[in-house]
Structure 1
Amino acid sequence: LKVLREAGLVSEERAGRQRIYRLEAAPLAEVQDWLHPYERFWRGRLKGLAELLDHMPDDDGS
């Protein structure tokens, strides 16, 4: 949790002896925005592969 807190991904609130952690999603949204073009690329490639495999004859001898 210390690493996540230092990275700004969680916040900590102390209430007596308890520590309450909350997810800070904003930094994760930045990562998602950065990854989006790659996700779109690979989703298209995998869809093409699935279509190719669907049209290939089965190799089970039947």
Structure 2
Amino acid sequence: MDRLGTTFAALSDPTRRAMIERLSRGPATVHGLTEPFALSQQMISKHIAYLVRARIVIKTKRGRESICRLRPEAIKTVSDWAISYRQFWEESFDKLDAVVKQMKKEEVRDDKKHGE
């Protein structure tokens, strides 16, 4: 799977998105990431491993604890991709709007021609 696909797959899970949201406020221990969820430590570890494989999170050891940090560059890749499509759709909607306005002008002209 390509890098962007891997990132989207990682972001597809609500638990992982909640973890990312928490990490956006600063680093956290694995234990700290476990607390808000009604999931086992093993399940949380699997989610973290998924985020690490997707290169969204960096996990380092500090003594006995594992510290997780967000890699903002990974999220920026998604943001850049979305922005490019936003520009495409905005341009498409602008073109559609111009066509609709032109059609309305022609409709008004036709109505005047026919005395309506």
TM-score, normalization by structure 1:
0.58
Q: Considering only aligned residues, what root-mean-square deviation do their CA atoms show, in Å?
A: 2.2
Say whether residues 1:22 and 2:60 are aligned partners.
no
Q: Which runs of 5+ in 1 are unaligned?
A: 46-62
User: Highest CA radius of gyration, 1 or 2?
Assistant: 2
Q: Which runs of 5+ in 2 are unaligned?
A: 1-47, 94-116
**Larger relative helix fraction:** 2
What is the aligned partner in structure 2 of residue 60 from structure 1? none
Aligned-partner SS, 2:60: strand
Percent identical residues: 28
Q: Which residue identity does 1:35 align to in structure 2?
A: A
TM-superposed CA distance for 1:31, in Å, is 1.2
Aligned length: 45
**Larger relative strand fraction:** 1
Alignment of 1:36-51 (within 5 A): 36-40=83-87, 41=89
